[in-house]
Amino acid sequence: MATLNKRLRVGVLFGGRSGEHEVSLASAASVIRGLDPEKYEAVPIGITKEGHWRIGAGAQKMLPEVLRGGQDVMMTADPTNASLVPLGDSGGGSTAQRLDVIFPVMHGTYGEDGTIQGLLDLAGLPFVGAGVLGSAIGMDKDVAKRLLQVAKIPVVPWVTVHRHEWERDPKKVQREIERKFKYPVFVKPAALGSSVGMTKVHSRKELAPALDLASEFAMKILVEKSVVAREIEVSVLGNSDPKASVPGEIVPHREFYDYTAKYLEDGTQLLIPAKLKPAQIKQIQRLAVAAFKALELSGMARVDFFLEKRTNGKLFLNEVNTIPGFTSISMYPKLWEATGIPFRELTDKLISLALEIHAEKARTKYQIELPEGAAGALQG
């Protein structure tokens, strides 16, 4: 891991143009509180639902205040001078904000899908978590499932529905789904998290509204077989040599672990560690690390599994989250704390991993050295 010898300016990115905007604020607040002030200076960077970038000005400290009235800035994509440049006269001074590393805490679209990661790569800034490819794959549950199948990691059977197919010929889509699955099924956007837009469909009459809802949030929709199972989650940390935490179990108080159960109501139980046999724990940890590698991830991920409730039930990998939640109820930090890594140490390790992989990227050549006079010849 990289050695941290100075107080680094850590840009904590939050908000964004996503259905998970509000969850991001709660996660970012936890990250900011968790950063060691002797090692890091946290710089909150909020992105509004409209896409405006803002940082706090003057006495603005609460993240919603930053979004409402912070200073408008723009992230430069110049690797020789990566910084936040003020836009116009919005108060708070006009000095460009230099950053040493970025901690993205943006869940969902335009934050977890590789878009922000691409901008940060262009700017030459180290950042926590997966790169462009891993982020894009992890966000697209359809593509992720295909790669996991190639890696011989069991996944829940699914059907992919494109929005244009559903809108053009809904009866055909319905027939294809019912040909493959019996009700109930789960319908959800293929590229979103936090259970946004997800519905458990019990009968044919519920299918169309569920597909309509999911299609509001994504161009591609997943319809999955319903598995009567325990929900097991495990956290992964590392780059080239990732490690898995102890597994935990989600016991929702609602029919399934939807957005309301996760964030709006109390009652869901988090069992850490999960009550599992030693062989099951090893299998879950092994598959989590294998999935982390198969999907080209780095830094962090939370890997979610279904363990069928019947005797000797099968284990399925449900999904991988490349920017897991960091709220007070989030499993990613809780699982590492139970494994022996408290929150502050966890954020420290994640920043070290970001610096480590950034240094490894810097070793890669992106240009070739042409013989003298060759450049002029190529230019005609």
The pLDDT value recorded for residue 192 is: 74
Instruction: Say if residues 41 and 9 touch (Cβ distance below 8 Å).
Output: yes
CATH number of the domain bearing residue 65:
3.40.50.20
Q: What is the pLDDT of residue 1?
A: 43
Question: How many Å apart are CA 138 and CA 113, to the nearest integer?
Answer: 7
Instruction: Tell the burial category of 101 from Cβ atoms under 10 Å away from its Cβ (0-12, 13-18, 19+).
Output: buried
* Block mean pLDDT (10 aa), the chain, length 380: 69 89 91 94 94 77 86 90 78 71 92 94 96 96 97 97 96 96 95 78 96 93 95 97 97 61 63 96 98 98 95 90 90 97 97 97 82 64
- My answer on whether 266 and 214 are in the same domain is no
Q: What is the pLDDT of residue 365?
A: 81
SS3 state at 236? strand
Angle between helices 343-362 and 21-34 (to 10 degrees): 100
Q: Are residues 108 and 323 in contact, defined by beta-carbon separation less than 8 angstroms?
A: no
> How many structural domains are present in the chain?
3
If asked whether residues 221 and 252 sit together in one domain, one would say no
Quick one: 94 and 201 in the same domain?
Answer: no
**Same domain, yes or no, for 233 and 207?**
no
- Domain residues for the domain of 121 are 8-128
What's the confidence (pLDDT) of residue 2?
44
What is the pLDDT, as a whole number, of residue 285? 98
Q: Are residues 58 and 109 in the same domain?
A: yes
Residues 323 and 106: beta-carbon distance below 8 Å: yes
Residue 205 has what pLDDT? 95
| Pairing assessment for the beta strands 220-225 and 53-55 based on DSSP bridges | unpaired
**242 and 357, same domain (yes or no):** yes
Please check whether residues 14 and 124 belong to one and the same domain.
Answer: yes
Residues classed as catalytic: 20, 194, 263, 302, 304, 319, 321, 325
pLDDT at 92: 47
Evaluate whether residue 151 is within a structural domain.
Answer: no
* Residue 236 contacts residue 243 (beta carbons within 8 Å): yes
User: Is residue 236 domain-shared with residue 358, that is, in the same domain?
Assistant: yes
